[in-house]
Amino acid sequence: MEFSVEITKAALADAEDYVQFIREDRGDSTAADKWWNGLIDQILSLETLPRRCSIIPEQRYFEQEMRHLIYAPHRIIFSVDESTVTILRIYHGARKPFNAIG
């Protein structure tokens, strides 16, 4: 079964912020483009077997089941229903444990 993939505004903003960080703070547009393209590839890989990914360690704080796919140094936090994967956040792994989806 193939799933559709949707990205929330919050997740898109997370990704755009990191791309901007790479471009401006590191001064490396090539690395920013490479990271972005890799992120898209990882997200699209969730169209097939998204439940292959682990449930997040912080799950006990949420009612909705959430999983993550590691795209170093980030975690792609998402939920899965019958036919859709929803990307909730793109969360940097060095940050404190994940605690918000909004």
Q: Tens digit of pLDDT for each residue in 1-22?
A: 899 999 999 999 999 999 999 9
Say how far apart CA 11 and CA 88 lie, in whole Å: 5
Q: What is the pLDDT of residue 97?
A: 61
> Which contacts (CB < 8 Å, 24+ apart) does range 54-61 have?
56/98, 57/97, 58/97, 58/98, 58/99, 61/99
Residue at token pair 């909730």: 88
Q: What CATH architecture does domain 4-92 belong to? A: 2-Layer Sandwich (3.30)
- pTM assigned to the model: 0.89
Q: What is the pLDDT of residue 92?
A: 84
pLDDT in tens, 63-97: 999 999 999 889 999 999 999 999 999 988 776 66
The full set of domain ranges for the chain reads: 4-92
pLDDT in tens, 9-65: 999 999 999 999 999 988 889 999 999 999 999 999 999 999 999 999 989 989 999
